[in-house]
Amino acid sequence: MKRISGLVVLLAMIACSPYNYYTSKSQNADFSHYKTYGWLPGLDSLSKSYYDNAIAEDNIIETTNKELAARGLTYTKDNPALLFRYKAIVNNTSRRFYEPAYYGWGGYGWGYSPWWGYSPWGWGGGFGWGGAVGRERYRAGHIILEAIDANSRKIVWQGRGSGEVDNPEKAVNDLPSVVSNIMKAYPIAARK
């Protein structure tokens, strides 16, 4: 029962998050065999003004290191079994925006009702649905973590967090939370 309530809280927290999380993994990889990891240099960032700084890099790497340690992996520079790298992207994109739904009540008067037929008196009411009325532009941030098998040099796991970023400082300060949520989908669960 304790596990179920914890899962419900986790899902509620993720559902309220301004980021969406995605993951994919190799079906042939046995993650229980990976005990050590190292870091590759980050891929060229397409977001020079948001994540291309030492604070962002530290937030991503240090949070990932903590998450991997909680899963029993040990960092090493000498012959690691997994190699991690990250990519940070901010791009301009657009989305539809909608007219809000409207509701209202009419005045007193004569009219037709499907339930009562024609009536010389009564209150009228109505509502309508909003619809897509246009597109708005916004900046989307994407943090991508990849785990690469050191022997085969193939990506065996990838996690991504994507969300709207409108403030560079907030985007960098949110990185630990984003990375932690990405790592929740890593194939080995964190130890308690």
Contact 73, 82 (CB under 8 A): yes
Q: What is the dihedral of CA 138, 17, 182, 72, to 10 degrees?
A: 150
104 falls within a domain: yes
107 falls within a domain: yes
109 falls within a domain: yes
80 falls within a domain: no
Is the pLDDT score of 147 beyond 60? yes
21 falls within a domain: no
**CB neighbour class for 171 (10 Å; exposed up to 12, middle 13-18, buried from 19):** buried
Q: Is 21 left (phi over 0), alpha (psi -120 to 50) or beta?
A: beta
Res 128: pLDDT: 54
88 falls within a domain: no
Range of the domain at 120: 97-133
Is the pLDDT score of 64 beyond 80? yes
129 falls within a domain: yes
* H or E segment to which residue 93 belongs: strand 82-98
Res 113: pLDDT: 54
Mean of pLDDT over the chain: 79
Res 80: pLDDT: 97
Is the pLDDT score of 16 beyond 80? no
Q: How confident is the model at residue 172 (pLDDT cuts 50, 70, 90)?
A: very high
Q: Judging by DSSP bridges, how do beta strands 111-113 and 102-108 pair with one another?
A: unpaired
Total of domains in the chain: 1
185 falls within a domain: no
Q: How far is residue 82's CA from residue 31's CA, in Å, rounded to a whole number? A: 10
- Taking the whole predicted model, whether its pTM rises above 0.75 is answered as no
